[in-house]
Structure 1
Amino acid sequence: MAYAIDRCPCAESPRLDAMTWHPVAESAPRARRWFRKFVTPYQLSCSIDDCVLLLSELVTNAVVHGTSDAPWLVRVEWFRVKASLRVEVHNPGPPERVRLRCPEANDAHGRGLLVDSAADSWHAGPSHFGGTVVSFEMANAWPPS
C-alpha cells in the first residue's frame, strides 16, 4: 500500500463523474448508493464492495473533519487513470491533519488503516478546490481491452 501527499495527478485523466454532499451523517450512505449505481455499468474488475467501503470511510471522515466558517459541501469525484479507478473526496479541512497514525491501543479512531489496507494506493494533500483532498486508487479496475 502506498501513501503520498501530492497534488492531483488527475488533471489530465478523464473525470467520469462528480457529486457534492452536505456535511451530514446521511451523506455516507447516499454516496455509497450513488457510487454503486454509477459503477455498475462499467463492470469493473476490482471489488465494488471494497470501493464502496473506502468511499464511505472517506466521506465520513470529510464530514467529521471538514471545517469552514461558511457553509460547505463534501465533493466526490471519480477518475479513470489508465486502468485504475481513482476516487477523490474533497472537504475544506486543513490537509496537514490527514496522515496514517499509530494511535494508542484504546483509541477508537484515527488509524487510517482501512484505506491503507484495502486500496492499492491512497493520497492526501491540498485540494485544488481549497482545503483537503483524500483519494484512493484501485489498480486494474477496468478489464483489459
Structure 2
Amino acid sequence: MDDVMDGYGEAGAGRTSLGVMTLHPLPESVPRARRWFRKFIAPYGIACSLDDCLLMLSELVTNAILYGQAKGEWRVRVEWWRDGTSLRVDVHNPGLPDKVRMRQAAADEAHGRGLCLVSALADSWHAGPSRFGGTMVSFVVADAWP
C-alpha cells in the first residue's frame, strides 16, 4: 500500500511542508497521486489552477515511474511545500539525474511532452539529484496564495 502523510516532511527557511506521499512505481499510482494531492491541498485554499497542478503532477509521477531505476523494490516520493506565496512540488525517484531533459516530440509520437507541459504551465521547474539518492524533478507555481 502507498503511504500518504499530510503536513509531514522537512521544511527549510521560509518553507512549510504541506504533504508527502510515497507511491509504488505502477501506472495506477498516477491517478492515486492526483486524488491524494487534490484531497490534501484543498484545506490550504490555493488560488492557482488546481487542474494545472494536477496535470504537472501527473506528468512528473509518470516520468518517475517510467524512468526510475533500482535493483530492488523502490517507491516514488512526492512532496509539496508552501514557500511564501509559491507552491513547490518535488517528485523523487531512484533514476539518474543526468537523464532528465526536455525534448521536442514529433507530431506522431505518443510520448515525450511531459516536461514541455510542465515548462509551459509552471513558473519554473528544476531537475537534479534527490537528497534521497536518484533524481528529483520539481515545479513551482508562483502566487499560489494571495
State the TM-score, normalizing by the size of structure 1.
0.87
CA shift, 1:108, in A, is: 2.9
What residue is the counterpart of 1:101 in the other structure? Answer: 103
Correspondence list, 1:14-25, <5 A = 14-25=16-27
TM-fit CA distance, 1:101? 1.5
Percent identity, aligned pairs only, is 60
Taking the aligned partners of 2:90 and 2:36, their CA distance within structure 1 comes to 15
CA RMSD of aligned residues (A): 1.3
Aligned residue type for 1:109: H
Partner of 1:116: 119
Amino acid at match of 1:129: F
Give the aligned partner of residue 70 of structure 2: 68
Displaced runs of 4+ in structure 1, greater than 6 A? none
C-alpha separation in 2, matches of 1:102 and 1:37:
33
TM-score by length of 2: 0.86
Which residue of 2 is the match for residue 90 of structure 1? 92
Query: Which one scores higher on RCO, CA 8 angstroms, separation ≥ 6?
Result: 1
Instruction: Letter of the 1:39 partner, please give it.
Output: I
Paired residue secondary structure (1:14): strand
CA distance in 2, matches of 1:103, 1:95: 20
What secondary structure, in the 3-state scheme, does the structure 2 residue paired with 1:59 have? Answer: helix
Whether contact under 8 Å (2:86, 2:143) holds in the other structure is yes
Q: Which blocks of at least 5 consecutive residues in structure 2 are unaligned?
A: 1-10
SS in 1 for 2:22: strand
Which residue type is aligned with residue 14 of structure 1? T
1:31 is the counterpart of 2:33: yes
Conserved in 1, the CA contact under 8 Å of 2:102 and 2:116? yes
1:105 Cα deviation (Å)? Answer: 4.1
Question: Is the deviation greater in 113-122 or in 103-112?
Answer: 103-112
Counterpart of 1:6? none
Matched, 1:134 2:142: no
Find the aligned partners of 2:83 and 2:92 in 1 and give their Cα distance. 18
| Matched residue count | 134
Separation (CA, whole Å) in 2 of partners of 1:136 and 1:114? 11
